[in-house]
Amino acid sequence: AQTVTQSQPEMSVQEAETVTLSCTYDTSESDYYLFWYKQPPSRQMILVIRQEAYKQQNATENRFSVNFQKAAKSFSLKISDSQLGDAAMYFCAYRSPKVNDMRFGAGTRLTVKP
Amino acid sequence: NAGVTQTPKFRILKIGQSMTLQCTQDMNHNYMYWYRQDPGMGLKLIYYSVGAGITDKGEVPNGYNVSRSTTEDFPLRLELAAPSQTSVYFCASSLGGINTGELFFGEGSRLTVL
């Protein structure tokens, strides 16, 4: 079964600076999808960014970008120009096109310092 | 623009009681899911449904039941509540199970079993 590992339980960043959250995963599949979800104190899971494994180009969404290393099975999230509203739990997730499930890592709690 | 709606948001149960968590989505999504999130952990799949009348077990189905009589609704029933079922429960939906894979989440239901 696929597993997702987030090795950083907590991270902090100064407002306006850049932070990178790490994620690694284990799979034998060649086609899959990777996601970063944000969970603010309100609890609702919000999609931050998505990457299709067949795409070599790294996904970007405004201040959020990923570094997708397929061979290394690594999928890190970079947040540029960090804002106070970025403070939240961030979950990395893996989804196989063959299985109706999304595997989540344990999460990284991001604190943004003013 | 409701999306995925879960009720109740909070509930306290006594051991042995039963209850139903309600979930409704208005996006005409075929796929619906129930996840639980334990403290410091990622989400784990309890049950999912690929359409009305079709349900299947996820990773942690014991102690739960589901039904899917309509496209919109996917209630989760807890029978004989146990302290191990204390968790935050998330309902989610997606357009399909094998395409882009993005899940849309409700705001979660915090359940405490005493």
Flag whether B60 is in a domain. yes
Å between B23 CA and nearest CA of chain A: 14
CATH of domain A3-113: 2.60.40.10
In sequence order, which residues have a C-beta less than 8 Å from that of residue B53 and are 6 or more positions away? B68, B69
Q: Which domain holds residue B87?
A: 4-107
Flag whether B51 is in a domain. yes
Q: CA A87 to CA A40: how far, in whole Å?
A: 7
Q: CA B105 to CA B92: how far, in whole Å?
A: 4
Å between B53 CA and nearest CA of chain A: 16
What are the pLDDT digits (tens) for B66-112?
A: 999 999 999 999 989 999 999 999 999 988 755 566 889 999 999 99
For residue B99, the model assigns a pLDDT of 55
Å between A56 CA and nearest CA of chain B: 16
B60 touches A at CB < 8 Å: no
A107 touches B at CB < 8 Å: yes
Flag whether B113 is in a domain. no
Flag whether B114 is in a domain. no
For residue B101, the model assigns a pLDDT of 65
**Sequential pLDDT tens for chain A (114 residues):** 678 999 999 999 999 999 999 999 999 988 899 999 999 987 888 999 999 998 889 999 999 999 999 999 999 999 999 999 999 999 999 988 777 778 999 999 999 999
Q: Domain holding B26: CATH number?
A: 2.60.40.10
Which residues of chain A are within 8 Å of residue B98 when distances are taken between CB atoms?
A: 97-98
What are the pLDDT digits (tens) for B38-52?
A: 987 889 999 999 899
Peptide bond preceding B39: is omega within 30 degrees of 0, i.e. cis?
no
Number of structural domains (chain B) is 1
3-state DSSP helix/strand/coil % of chain B, to nearest 5:
5, 50, 45
Determine whether the interchain pair A105/B42 forms a contact, defined as Cβ–Cβ distance below 8 Å: yes
